[in-house]
Structure 1
């Protein structure tokens, strides 16, 4: 991965807005219709997207997660749900759709998991149950559950993702391109009726996900591991767990991820940490300081994280006390998916500079808090990316003179 040697490089966290024709084609396919020329359409969409990123000034481009189906312009979950079309051993959990009164008794209790419960929901029940509040969009999904041995079946899908991005990056004249893939800990947040323990379930998912990781890296691309669960699980455990208990719970998820990453080149792996992409209050979030030592133990040289979100923006000061390990790179979010307000480039520059001053300018790549696709309107998303690149240019003048 390139470092910011003489200017602040830019990237984003993965998901980018889908075009109308791509959303329509995905909706048709989801309805069981055959879409003529689907492969060619997807390839062309990725090619156009990569060119638009480069024209906007994005240095480290991605495929926008275009191979992960979205059937409507607003979709908070495609980064996660895509894997259930690429794995065997799952069945629909018809009785488990978005039950907000589920209680998980301890960090290790995997009988009740997923997005079925949040302490944030309980603290702001009126807002969460008001359909006009803007917190959630659309009809809650029916999640799958694990009912048999897990096995990766997404070889054709990831091969298409890889081929489309590789061709698009080559055509755009860039080698710095990444594809996102799910972490075992995030994949495991569904009901389990097959594996005897949390550990067995996690390592089964690790073996599944490793196949996707290898496919991305073998193509010479950069791999981004998406793993909101490391921070976000904390909000889904009732009662609020003791910090050390939660960290023990989380370390097992890191062990499973590192098992999946064993022997793979850490200098081409970036890890995405966030507190979830829903537009809620987030008053029950765990602090970055509490989870950071665990995150730094992941076998990835780059870390992307939320640094513009108003619940976590102040946490840049953590880097005054925590030394960035040698070889690590930070991709802080400097524009956010959680607001329709487009950040001013001068504010973006300030956010970049204050982190660069603490960890070294060469160790910072400006990015987004989380994926913009499916969270804000496409016109707003691209305006945010333009503000990101303009802010990076301002920060470059401050940091390099």
Structure 2
């Protein structure tokens, strides 16, 4: 019996010129919600068709419902929350410094606006505009913040995205179960400043309650929900001083409990959990390894675990699956092509990467993927070429089984 190793990607795909322009027109008041929805539906149909033509097994809307107006955009995966939740504002740095809520004694405080330890360690490189990584050093002109009660206001937007994807799937003859939509985790959303709730944990739980409505809208349509949760690994580098591991695990455990509350009643087989170390192009010298996080990730009510495995800072961690048993109901979604390099991975290399995981946990429990979203991180032509290499590498790896 032959084995076919399935393929997917993490979510964000390059936006079309028409979609970026529609987003800009909508933000400027020149295009109403109905007009934007028409463009989203048409462009989603095209991006789904293109994924299907490539042979990807699990496809999505390219995150076309998460507004992006520029070709390079590292933040659309979470900044879409400003269009779908009440209680959010942008503050000046002076306003933020004067009004941020205190953290209770003995608790870790995540200062999302501080320089990462990696940025400090490689300050010369990050501050050099010729280095290729200087984007990370640009200070935010405003501070995104929770300044009022959080509630979900994105019902029309998520309904638009669900309708666009399900319609596109039908058009290419694919079942709804082959489609996924992405949504931010409560903990990732809560990394913006809290200026309203009693403390950080209260803000995380408020996000969980508000996000639950979006999670339900996606899964009740029969689609798979991908939780974008860079918070689990990436938050480690956002503390000014490296935290105690026990304290960091406690910090993360609270956030997973809040996420599971938001996922309560949702079939875990419809959920995949994406862990990454951030999308910026830089050394990542202070990244936390994957091993201390495996048991925490296993606590999430999600059967799929998506993570970076082509990233050269973490590629060696595939060996963890030789010694750590994958729970029986789970499967892996390892990245085998990277968003962090313009070099196009050879299909044979992709096949080698896939084969490592397939031999460790079984080919039927591996869905080959990208490290992170490609949209806004690499040029469109390169992004689609990487997906071609991904599919061809999976074909080669399948032949080996």
TM-score, scaled relative to structure 1: 0.93
1:37–1:91 distance in 2 versus 1, CA, 3 Å: closer
Q: Equivalents in 1 of 2:121, 2:394: separation in Å? A: 37
Question: Which whole-Å CA distance do the structure 1 matches of 2:119 and 2:313 have between them?
Answer: 16
Name which of structure 1's ranges 196-205 and 277-286 shifts more when overlaid on structure 2.
Answer: 196-205
Alignment deviations for residues 153-194 of structure 1 (CA, whole Å, 9 cap, x no partner): 111110101000010011111120000001000000111111
Match of residue 100 from structure 2: none
CA RMSD of aligned residues (A): 2.1
**Which residue does 2:41 correspond to in 1?**
43
Q: Could you say which residue in structure 1 is the equivalent of 2:193?
A: 191
Residue 13 of structure 1, aligned match among 10, 24, 49: 10
Aligned-residue offset at 1:108: 3.5
Q: How do 1:300-315 and structure 2 match up within 5 A?
A: 300-315=302-317
Number of residues paired by the alignment? 391
Cα-to-partner distance string for 1:281-308 (whole Å, 9 max, x where unaligned): 1010000011111111100000110000
1:141–1:363 distance in 2 versus 1, CA, 3 Å:
farther
> Is the partner of 2:89 in helix, strand or coil?
strand
| Pairing 1:1-400 to 2, within 5 Å after superposition | 6-34=3-31, 37-95=35-93, 108-110=107-109, 113-137=111-135, 140=140, 142-175=142-175, 176-399=178-401
Q: Residue 380 and residue 191 in structure 1: after superposition, are their counterparts in 2 closer, same or farther (change >3 A)?
A: same
Moved over 6 A (4+): 96-99, 104-107
- Unaligned segments of structure 2, at least 5 residues: 98-102
Per-residue CA deviations over 1:14-67 (Å, capped at 9, x if unaligned) read 000011111122122223322683221110100000000011111100100000
Superposed CA deviations along residues 120-154 of structure 1, whole A, max 9, x for unmatched, are 11001111112222225497463321111111111
Unmatched segments (≥5 aa) in structure 1: none
Query: Structure 1's 208 and 275: CA in aligned 2 closer, same or farther, altered over 3 A?
Result: same
Distance 2:96 2:379 in 1: 25
Q: Aligned partners of 1:208, 1:121: CA distance in 2, in Å?
A: 33
Secondary structure in 1 aligned to 2:93? coil
Name the TM-score, length of structure 2 as normaliser: 0.93
Q: Distance in 1 between matches of 2:95 and 2:27?
A: 19
